[in-house]
Amino acid sequence: MDDSLARHNTGLMPYLVAASQILGVAALAVTGTWLSQYRGGFSWDGPQQFNVHPICMVLGMVFLCGDALLVYRVFRHESKKATKILHGALHMLALIISVVGIIAVFQFHKKKDIPDMYSLHSWLGITTFTLYILQWICGFVMFFVPGIAFAYKSRFKPLHVFLGLSLLVSTIATCLLGLTEKLLFALPEEYSKLPAEGVLCNTLGLLLVAFGLVMSYILTRDEWRRPPLPEEQALSIDFKTLTEGESPNEP
Residues ≥6 apart with Cβ < 8 Å to 141: 148
Per CB under 8 A, the list member of 22, 99, 169, 237 interacting with a copy of itself is 169
Q: Which helix (H) or strand (E) holds 238?
A: helix 230-244
Alpha-carbon distance of 229 to 122, in angstroms, equals 43
Number of Cβ within a 10 Å radius of residue 109: 17
151 near a copy of itself (CB under 8 A)? no
41 SS3 class? coil
**Stretch of residues binding a copy of itself (CB under 8 A), selected from 23-31, 40-48, 90-98, 211-219:** 211-219
Cβ-based nearer residue to a copy of itself, 97 or 167: 167
Q: How far is the CB of 221 from a copy of itself (least distance, A)?
A: 8
Closest to a copy of itself by CB, 15 vs 185, is 185
Contact 185, 203 (CB under 8 A): no
Pattern of binders to a copy of itself over 17-46, x per CB under 8 A?
------------------------------
Span near a copy of itself by CB under 8 A; candidates 10-18, 25-33, 162-170, 234-242: 162-170
Q: Tell which residue, 178, 177, 200, 175, has the closest CA to residue 66.
A: 175
Spatial separation of the C-alpha atoms in residues 72 and 108, rounded to whole Å: 37
Q: What residue ranges bind a copy of itself (CB under 8 A)?
A: 114-115, 118-121, 123-124, 127, 158, 162, 166, 169-170, 172-173, 176-177, 179-181, 183-185, 188, 191-194, 198, 201-202, 205-206, 209, 213, 216-217, 220-222
